[in-house]
């Protein structure tokens, strides 16, 4: 396993407590049912991004792989392993939900007339199209 980085992550719990309409924070049931391969959305201050849980430690911390290319690469970037605590989590994406979005995207690739079921799939398609257009 690569080096695991302990970086600054915003305390989503405190932000949610002060601004519940603006900042998401999972409920206790969601937090207590997190497992390996679930996705966690976290924040380094300037940007929020997704991570993928690779390991859950004995003290309840999560070793996660950064899933997004970040604008601010000073602390971490895509593929890096970082430590995430429960209070840092804005949103949880269960592994089953991630698989459903991927299946929806693959269906669109096979059949461009397919209407995506999940809003996240439409976002993924738009990101791919933007990347293609920027390379033309």
Assess whether 25 and 42 both reside in one domain.
Answer: yes
Assess whether 55 and 115 both reside in one domain.
Answer: no
* Residue 114 confidence (pLDDT): 79
Assess whether 125 and 108 both reside in one domain.
Answer: yes
Distance, in Å, from the CA atom of 63 to the CA atom of 83, rounded to the nearest integer, reads: 5
> Which one, of 26, 51, 55, lies nearest residue 39 by Cα?
51
CB-based contact 42:12 (threshold 8 Å): yes
Assess whether 89 and 103 both reside in one domain.
Answer: no
Assess whether 115 and 76 both reside in one domain.
Answer: no
Return per-residue pLDDT of the chain as tens, 136 residues.
579 999 999 999 999 999 988 888 999 999 999 999 999 999 999 899 999 999 999 999 999 999 988 998 999 999 999 999 999 999 998 877 777 777 878 888 888 887 877 777 777 777 777 777 776 6
Domain count, the chain: 2
pTM, 2 dp: 0.76
CB-based contact 12:92 (threshold 8 Å): no
Assess whether 73 and 22 both reside in one domain.
Answer: yes
**What is the number of residues in the chain?**
136
* Residue 112 confidence (pLDDT): 82
Assess whether 70 and 17 both reside in one domain.
Answer: yes
Burial of 51 (0-12, 13-18, 19+ CB in 10 A): buried
* Residue 98 confidence (pLDDT): 74
* Residue 97 confidence (pLDDT): 77
Q: Which domain holds residue 74?
A: 4-93
Assess whether 87 and 117 both reside in one domain.
Answer: no
Assess whether 85 and 110 both reside in one domain.
Answer: no
């Amino acid at each position: 396993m690569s080096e695991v980085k302990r970086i600054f992550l915003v305390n989503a719990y405190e932000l949610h407590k002060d601004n519940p309409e603006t900042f998401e924070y999972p409920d206790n049931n969601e937090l207590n049912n997190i497992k390996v391969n679930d996705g966690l959305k976290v924040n380094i201050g300037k940007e929020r991004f997704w991570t993928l849980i690779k390991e859950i430690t004995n003290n309840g911390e999560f070793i996660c792989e950064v899933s997004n290319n970040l604008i601010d690469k000073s602390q971490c970037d895509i593929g890096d392993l970082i430590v995430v605590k429960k209070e840092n989590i804005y949103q949880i994406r269960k592994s089953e939900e991630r698989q459903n979005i991927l299946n929806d995207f693959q269906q669109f690739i096979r059949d461009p007339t397919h209407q995506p079921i999940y809003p996240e799939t439409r976002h993924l398609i738009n990101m791919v199209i933007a990347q293609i257009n920027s390379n033309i």
